[in-house]
Amino acid sequence: MMLRQTGQSLQLKVSGVTSVTRRRKCRIAPRAMFERFTDKAIKVIMLAQEEARWLGHNFVGTEQILLGLIGEGTGIAAKVLKSIGINLKDSRLEVEKIIGRGSGFVDVEIPFTPRAKHVLELLLEEAGQLGHYHIGSEHLLLALLREGEGVAARVLENLGADLSNIRTQARIATCLCFL
């Protein structure tokens, strides 16, 4: 599947995929999964790729997904993270402390790391467990927390967050939004 942004709308085209960019055709994930993403979840993935570029990394890892979740700002995930004091500035600094900056050379297509791909697999399970068809930022956060061993988890822990507490808050917020 291909993702293309034209103006304010996103257009999807069929094909096999691994990453996302703005205003360019590019690859992301299996068609059936990606079509289920809400606009906010798509924005999170696009922001994750922008964060990878900003850090000079030639990959999108769990840490960039976390930064995308925070940067999106209006979704359930962003609100839960903000409510416990997690912000973009501190999270970026922590990512840089843990993995540093990349070489600066970044291809047009930025692939997901194996751990980030695993998060994308887990989010389908998270949505299914909640009985949700559409995949939002909250499912990305729940999958990121469930994976629990990537750089994103270390960033949250280093910022003083309790992963199980965030998970509980995210599940509660998700259920309340779907009442």
Q: What is the pTM of this model?
A: 0.76
Higher pLDDT, 93 or 19: 93
CATH homologous superfamily of domain 38-177? Clp, N-terminal domain (1.10.1780.10)
Farthest CA pair distance, the chain: 47
- Encode pLDDT of 96-132 as tens digits: 898 888 777 667 778 888 999 888 888 888 887 888 7
pLDDT of residue 18: 39
Cα–Cα distance, 10 to 25 (Å, whole number)? 11
Cα–Cα distance, 103 to 158 (Å, whole number)? 25
pLDDT of residue 69: 93
- Encode pLDDT of 61-74 as tens digits: 999 999 999 998 88
Q: Which of 120, 134, 102, 119 is nearest to 36 (CA)?
A: 134
pLDDT of residue 68: 93
Task: Say yes or no to pLDDT of 4 above 60.
Answer: no
DSSP string, 36-86: TB-HHHHHHHHHHHHHHHHTT-SSB-HHHHHHHHHHH-SSHHHHHHHHTT-
Q: CA neighbours within 13 Å on the CB side: how many for 89? A: 1
Task: Say yes or no to pLDDT of 82 above 80.
Answer: yes
Average pLDDT over residues 168-173: 77
Higher pLDDT, 164 or 25: 164
Cα–Cα distance, 93 to 100 (Å, whole number)? 9
- Encode pLDDT of 42-62 as tens digits: 898 889 988 888 888 888 899
- Encode pLDDT of 5-38 as tens digits: 434 333 333 223 333 433 333 344 455 567 788 8
Q: 10 Å Cβ neighbour count for 8? A: 6
Structure tokens, 53: 């570029």
Where are the chain's structural domains?
38-177
pLDDT of residue 147: 86
Report DSSP state, residue 131.
T
pLDDT of residue 176: 61
What does the buried/exposed string (b/e) look like for 100-129 if buried means 16 or more CB atoms within 10 Å of the residue's CB?
A: eeeeeebeebbbbbebbebbbebbbebbee
